Amino acid sequence: MAKLTRSALAAVGLVALVVASGFGYYYEAYYLPQQPACDPVVPGSISRTQVSSVTFGAVTEYKLPSQGRWPNAVTAAPDGSVWFAEEEIPGVGHLYPGNGTLVEYAWPGYATPKPPDCLYAASSSGIALWDGRVWAADEYGNAILGVNPGDGSTVRINTTAGALYPYWLAAGPDGNLWFTSDNTPGSLGRIFPNLTLSVVRLNGIGTDEPIQLTFANSSLAFVAAINEAENATTKTCICSGHIYSFDPADASSAVTPSVVGGDYALQLPTSVSYSDGRVWVAQHGPSSVLGYDYASGQWTKYPTSTVPWSTTLPLVIVANGSRVWFNEHYANKIAMLDGAQGTLTEVSESNPPASGPTGIQNDESIALGAGGLWFTSETANYVGFVSADYRPGFSVAVAGNGSVTMPPGGSATVSLRVTGAWSSTLGVNASDSESYNSIPAKIHISPSASTVPPGSSPYALNVNLTLDQSTPQGRYVVAVTLTEGGVQQTAYIFVNVS
């Protein structure tokens, strides 16, 4: 999400940022490491370097040049390379993971970072490959910039004419480049191949502010919009929002989108993705993500595992078939939910894993690539890749029926199977979909063991579920998680209270 400049954030520590940009007041936190000496990149220049990499488990990290680049928005190219925005330069970087070559294109017209703060000059959360250029948004500068990789030339499109604070970019099926304007009143921007800008007003969305845009096909698009307006009575953030759909072919100067999923309460829905008849939503606050099934008209809340210092704070979500990837900002993890199997795998972005807030590396952007997922780490100064082929050696799944129905005050036992081989003790934890932080309250979850000793499959783990008499009727999701530290494997149990 957007963030303040670092002028007042030179101290080392966990800093809560209050952002007053295009969309209300947004609370974000960063652990800011000691800022190194500035790297005086010349605006408009092109540089070529070699970067080193390190692999642990599923993750490969590609360390950027010695000074902080603040990598943010990221997208994969068809040839297996990856592009990302660098806010410190500012500009875009092009990494070839096969040989470690990094080519950096510094945008012209920006000031070179200077001590003592080495402030970044741009905020770039959106990037896209379109019409022969790599495009990235500068939210602070109300501009979208396109770099021609052939000669390094850059074009700049001013978005102040009705599309302030450009955030997310998406190449549309209509051949145009679309972007969200995280501003009120809500609007989208559309750039045509002749580089002219058209603004598309989103009618009927009130104080919702568009954040992310994605296309399912030529006639169906989705927008994630957040509402950070102030409650008139309590004077606190409403912190809600909606997922909207519309037909991009019908969009001219305005469009009236439809609300997806009725009046289901969303909490800061910052990202949306669509796959196989389901809409997937990241909520930037709770320790959970959401799935909406068009066929049943049903929302399902999937809890993550928990961390003791905060909520896990999912931010960006992207689905591919039954696999749903998302990042957990405050947990410093990348997660992959398998909707078909009812499982969740979470891997640490760092080695060793974060053990508190000072281990947060501020991963804010993800993108699907061949064989896995790319992500950027803003303050740890690297680009990372998570292999979809990685298997941690152990897995957990429900043995039999993963859905139980019981009345308030009732109880049931569900059997899980741990398979594979594991050389260290596995911790057993539980979370559920009852609350904001996914910590169980009225549903009491009692695994038959708190740890699983080193060994091999099969290992039987029974889970007893007991409901308070005051448990409201509804559908809940219980997550039972096994971990060896750097990897969490979760099996979901679906509980119907009637």
Kind plus residue range of the DSSP H or E element containing 320: strand 314-320
Kind plus residue range of the DSSP H or E element containing 243: strand 240-246
Domain containing 424: what range? 394-497
**Range from 7-16, 45-54, 393-402 carrying the lowest mean pLDDT:** 7-16
- Do 398 and 373 lie in one domain? The reply is no
- Do 379 and 428 lie in one domain? The reply is no
Query: For residue 412, is it within any domain?
Result: yes
Task: Report the share of the chain in percent with pLDDT over 70.
Answer: 92
- 283's tokens: 């909520």
Summarised one tens digit per residue, pLDDT across range 35-79 is 556 777 889 999 999 999 999 999 999 999 977 889 999 999 999
Contact present, 480 and 401 (Cβ < 8 Å): no
Phi, psi of 97 (to 5 degrees): -65, -25
Which CATH number belongs to the domain containing residue 463 in this structure? 2.60.40.2310
Query: For residue 68, is it within any domain?
Result: yes
- Strand 166-171's sheet: what is its strand order? 166-171, 177-181, 187-191, 197-202, 254-255
Contact present, 272 and 279 (Cβ < 8 Å): yes
Number of domains in the chain: 2
- Do 376 and 482 lie in one domain? The reply is no
Which pLDDT score, from 0 to 100, does residue 457 have? Answer: 83
Long-range pairs for 282-285: beta carbons < 8 A, 24 or more residues apart:
282/314, 282/315, 282/316, 282/317, 282/326, 283/314, 284/1, 284/226, 284/313, 284/314, 284/315, 284/329, 285/239, 285/311, 285/313, 285/436
At 15, is the pLDDT very low, low, confident or very high (cuts 50, 70, 90)? very low
Q: Average pLDDT in the 338-359 region?
A: 94
| Nearest alpha carbon to residue 139 among 154, 159, 155, 156 | 159
- Do 333 and 425 lie in one domain? The reply is no
Which pLDDT score, from 0 to 100, does residue 401 have? Answer: 87
Which pLDDT score, from 0 to 100, does residue 39 have? Answer: 73
Which pLDDT score, from 0 to 100, does residue 114 have? Answer: 74
Summarised one tens digit per residue, pLDDT across range 199-210 is 999 999 999 999
CB atoms within 10 A of CB 195: 14
Q: Average pLDDT in the 319-338 region?
A: 96
Q: Average pLDDT in the 168-188 region?
A: 94
- Do 357 and 456 lie in one domain? The reply is no
**Cα separation values, 465 from 330, 343, 365, 397, 474, Å:** 29, 18, 37, 16, 15
Task: Spell out the residues 6+ positions from residue 242 whose beta carbon is closer than 8 angstroms to its own.
Answer: 205, 208, 225, 227, 259, 260, 266, 269
Q: pTM of the entire structure?
A: 0.93
Distance CA 161, CA 394 (A): 54
At 8, is the pLDDT very low, low, confident or very high (cuts 50, 70, 90)? very low
At 14, is the pLDDT very low, low, confident or very high (cuts 50, 70, 90)? very low
Whether pLDDT at 266 is above 60? yes
Q: Average pLDDT in the 11-27 region?
A: 34
Query: For residue 300, is it within any domain?
Result: yes
Query: For residue 3, is it within any domain?
Result: no
Which one is predicted more confidently, 229 or 217?
Answer: 217
Secondary structure of residue 147 in the 3-state scheme? strand
Whether pLDDT at 443 is above 90? yes
- Which of 40-63 are b and which e, b meaning 16 or more Cβ less than 10 Å from the residue's Cβ? ebebeeeeeeebeeeeeebbbbbb
Which pLDDT score, from 0 to 100, does residue 112 have? Answer: 78
Which CATH number belongs to the domain containing residue 370 in this structure? 2.130.10.10
Summarised one tens digit per residue, pLDDT across range 471-493 is 999 999 999 999 999 999 999 99
Which pLDDT score, from 0 to 100, does residue 31 have? Answer: 52
